[in-house]
Structure 1
Amino acid sequence: MTLRVAGKTSKTIKSESPLADGFNSAPGNSWGVEMANKTSETDKLRQKVEQMNEKLDKLLKQNDAYHASSELGETGQDDIYDKTGWLADPNGEYLGQAVEDDGCQDAYYEHSWVAEDEMPELENVNGDSGLGHKWTAEDSWGMGRAHDDSGLGDEVALTETNDEADELRDQVRCLQARLADLLSENDQLAMKVKELEGDWDNLIPSRHCFLSLYKCQKLQRALTLDECEHLVHASTKVASGDVLADSELYISGERRDYDVFVDLYGLDPHAVPSVLKDQHTIELVNAHATILASKYKTYTPKFQERFARFITNLRRTGYPEDCLIGLIDDVGILELQSSYTAFRNALHTEVSDVSKTEVMNDPVNSW
């Protein structure tokens, strides 16, 4: 029976966006994907171990059956001979004695059998003398050799079976050791996923706070009672966007102000988990949301135009992965790469930091 280690995939909530602040790429969380891969690999290896064990059991059964048949054959063959070497009659009479009795009834055969101790020559129907005796001897020798050859073949087959069984035992031991390692790694990944799930539960209020602050401060819209409670109970206020984490709030039904999400990320929250796979795209979308929600940054209309063009080309090409950087001979991908580069440059050229400007204009803090 195959045991499966259940693992729940969870997404990590990043506290800040590297593109929005330092414009450096950061690796995405892959604990959930790695957990699923380890579980799949463990199941496949477990099935292979079971198949090897079944094959080993079959070989061992064949081995036992061979030994049983060999012992039975030897026992049965010993029973058909008596101590003098004569074949025993099924009725309990010795065939040698019977021949001697028959010989006693005929004087000629009695003299030939007793005195010379050899069989008389027999003539066949064709009149050839001695051929009957010669055929009997060769046939007896051939039957004995066939019996010896058959026994030798059985011994060779048994040796090959034992060698194959030993090889299978070694393979089973290696597979079991590998399976134990995978199960250990799987348990470690499960613990890490559980920790990440705890972090996610703690950061849910913070993600609500990020969205509600943008809705209130930037869009100048009223908040619901639940959204106000999120602002009050948020232990940590995050200033960076996270398209994957925020989309979960809409998918779960905790938030319904979809226009707020679309304004920040340019995408439908329900489509994000299935279409947004490329890490460069995720970082760029998060940077856009971070700048829009920040109270210290301002941006030009060109910044929004380049972002809209990038999202349009992204939809048109089907949200491709690993093609934003590199040479690809496709018109749609080339346009996507061009819009990606243009918006990435706009993060530097079309965005201003208000806090730095205020410091430069303050005569006290400028020293």
Structure 2
Amino acid sequence: MSDEEDPESMDEEDLESMDEKDPMCDAILVTQSMFGGDDYMKMQAKVTFEEELKKEQLEVEHVRGEVYVGNRRGLDLAGMKAKLSAHESKICFLEACVQDLKTNAEDLKNNVKALTGRVSVLSIAAKEYKWVRQRSLSTFKRDHLPDTMEQSDYDIIRTVNQIVHEGDVVVDAFLYEEGGRRDTHTFEELYGLHPAIVRTIEHPETLNILNLHAQVRAHKHKTGTEEFFQKFAAFIQAFSESSMNPNYLTSEPRNATCIAYWALHNCPKYKDGGG
């Protein structure tokens, strides 16, 4: 807006668009000039600007809250700038949406992983429950229909009795979910860790060691060695201090958890020399 223009002569729309702190608008004039050296092009530009002002009527246009005055080609350029700014804003918005989608996809991936693990556990539990029901039927035959007993019934009873007295840390841990068992001390005495912690462990070697401890601890006819229980406690301590890092058997150099694992794995399990 030129210094000679009187704001009082502006219409209401122009006045509303004028910034109180910076009562200015952009004046844009676009035309074509001759190509050449720098000085020549500057001189030709002045000439063509003057000619453009003489032959073409200037217009005022409002673009996205800004006021522009100029010839038609200049105002078209101002519109392109506004469109570019709008596209940039839209791109930023879409990039944020993409990031949200990536986050949601990662959450869904973790949920699927957790559900897959849960299905696996439930499948194991269902399989073992079938064995328990098999034993129930065979036990009924033994107690009430002894003449119908077959060798397979005795095999089922013997096999399931062995399964029941062995450790199954994964299935047992899910017995302590909300609404389940509360005697977590019993679980920790048997497996060495809280059931909530065990539900986060997927490392087979670690789960096998926990089951081994339960088997030795609960054995009806054998007694575990003091060395075995001491080395198990050392393993649990090292594993806990490593923030339950499951890579202890493959990490280099050998770490405290790895050393404790092999020391426990190789020591005598029972006082009578068994295991």
TM-score of the pair, normalised by structure 2: 0.41
**Rg bigger for which structure?**
1
Structure with higher RCO (Cα < 8 A, 6+ apart): 1
TM-score normalised by structure 1 residue count: 0.33
